Structure 1
């Protein structure tokens, strides 16, 4: 166990805020940056806790929508005639959270150890770019967020589970699934942000104790460092959400796919030459 420095805290928190919502994998970038520049793994627990900052950004950015959805969900429970689009979105968030909650709990140890091998991250970065292309190629993009169904929630919830592997990207996986079921690109990303709130918040709170004393190899952050990390991730993450929603309204996910392929190939080169260690 190595104590995290303030420079590492700031750099990794900025990386978290920038990459959490872009479909390029925040956990993968944290793993790469921490190994390449600091010679160690920031750890899955630090990653999970720093995500509390970016999820706080979601809560603030979509605050009005979230309050409206929660209110509509409770009204719909009491009155069937009030079960409109927001009621369905509320259920979609609940249903989509179940798969990643179960799988994340069952495979918690693997997520924190074996899955963080950089060879896996490199391969996943490249291969999942193909999923982006397929989603853009075959998604009809004719449905709005108001048309969401429980089938959509299950599909996107299962896709969200793939984000447990560094290199996949939570937003990329769930938004791609959204495109496959016919949602517009902007609607798919908006829903992917909402679906992530319960899972990421629970993961961050659950990992909080481990972040101070990560088991085995890894960086250990202090309490003040974790607080600063959450604050930085919040500010940078809020700006990233605003930019991404404007970008995806007019641009394909393939732009991010191209970046992922380039990063994956660079990572393979660094690993093959022994510049950085895989584990």
Structure 2
């Protein structure tokens, strides 16, 4: 891998982390079809940390207000109670994903990244996204998210351990199926991504430091990180504007198309 490849992978990560089309699936496919040695999971996590920076910058007011409420610095007790509740929901919904990462992370890295499995996940999760977007009642706003909603969305996030499912795609799909508006489903999905990405970053931090920042690949890690952060911020802005007047159907159709192209490419390689 060279600087150019690292930048491309960073841009892909930033774009696909927030669009419901699977960042890990795209990275796995990019690694496979580039034909070079696949980057380590530590490099992929470094790219995800770039998107974490984008999330923290874009949603800085949300995180700041929740932090102040948790610390008791918000003088409006009614508003503070709602903010503390939302912070609790986000923490609770993170637990299934953390457990999936701890117990299935190595298995996912070793067995779930083959293009055929990625293609199946892209198509299957795409169909669920399309159905949820069409059938969802879209009656509940962000402030109406309940404990059960948070738990179910957290379980959906755990399914994203399989490349091609999509963390944002699975959580948005679940939110829509539970009756959330598109804006509420996307906002909760993006806020929920912060602790799970942070946790993965802490877990892989020793490898990121030794293999990347202090090793010969430091320039590759930094290039991928900043490319992912810039791309991620731009695509957060895009999707937040896009869903105000449009559905998620185009993303489902994109997943179907990409899955078909992967199957054709694998067939031609035989």
TM-score (norm 1): 0.89
Give distance in 2, aligned partners of 1:258 and 1:40.
Answer: 30
**Residue 12 in structure 1 maps to residue 9 in structure 2:** yes
Give distance in 1, aligned partners of 2:193 and 2:103.
Answer: 18
Q: CA deviation at 1:77?
A: 11
Task: Sort the Cα spacing of 1:221 and 1:147 in 2 relative to 1 into closer, same or farther, 3 A.
Answer: farther
Task: Sort the Cα spacing of 1:131 and 1:76 in 2 relative to 1 into closer, same or farther, 3 A.
Answer: farther
Contact preservation (8 Å) 1:86, 1:146: no
| Root-mean-square deviation over aligned CA pairs | 2.3
Partner SS state of residue 20, structure 1 = helix
Q: Which segment drifts farther, 199-208 or 185-194?
A: 199-208
Partner SS state of residue 189, structure 1 = helix
Q: Which segment drifts farther, 150-159 or 200-209?
A: 200-209
Partner SS state of residue 33, structure 1 = helix
Q: CA deviation at 1:207?
A: 2.0
Contact preservation (8 Å) 1:140, 1:179: yes
**Residue 262 in structure 1 maps to residue 257 in structure 2:** yes
1:35-50 → structure 2 map (5 Å cutoff): 35-50=32-47
Contact preservation (8 Å) 2:14, 2:231: yes
TM-score (norm 2): 0.92
Q: CA deviation at 1:248?
A: 1.4
After superposition, the C-alpha distances for 1:142-192 in whole angstroms (9 at most, x for unaligned) are: 111111111111011000011111101111100111111111001101100
Q: 1:152 aligns with which of 145, 149, 153?
A: 149
Give distance in 2, aligned partners of 1:99 and 1:227.
Answer: 30
Give distance in 2, aligned partners of 1:82 and 1:129.
Answer: 37
Partner of 2:185: 188
Give distance in 2, aligned partners of 1:213 and 1:57.
Answer: 23
Partner of 1:253: 248
- In structure 1, list runs of 5 or more residues that go unmatched: 215-219
After superposition, the C-alpha distances for 1:239-271 in whole angstroms (9 at most, x for unaligned) are: 000001111121111110000000000001111
Q: Which segment drifts farther, 74-83 or 130-139?
A: 74-83
Partner of 1:176: 173
Contact preservation (8 Å) 2:32, 2:115: no
Give distance in 2, aligned partners of 1:245 and 1:138.
Answer: 21
Q: Which segment drifts farther, 118-127 or 201-210?
A: 201-210
Contact preservation (8 Å) 1:123, 1:264: yes
**Residue 244 in structure 1 maps to residue 239 in structure 2:** yes
Contact preservation (8 Å) 2:46, 2:225: yes
Aligned residues: 267
Contact preservation (8 Å) 2:19, 2:239: yes
Give distance in 2, aligned partners of 1:82 and 1:13.
Answer: 38
Partner SS state of residue 112, structure 2 = helix
Contact preservation (8 Å) 2:52, 2:197: yes
Give distance in 1, aligned partners of 2:216 and 2:39.
Answer: 9
In the TM superposition, structure 1's runs of 4+ consecutive aligned residues that sit over 4 Å from their partners are 76-83, 211-214
1:1-279 → structure 2 map (5 Å cutoff): 4-75=1-72, 84-211=81-208, 222-274=217-269
Contact preservation (8 Å) 1:152, 1:178: yes
Partner SS state of residue 165, structure 2 = coil
Give distance in 2, aligned partners of 1:86 and 1:146.
Answer: 9
Contact preservation (8 Å) 2:3, 2:223: no
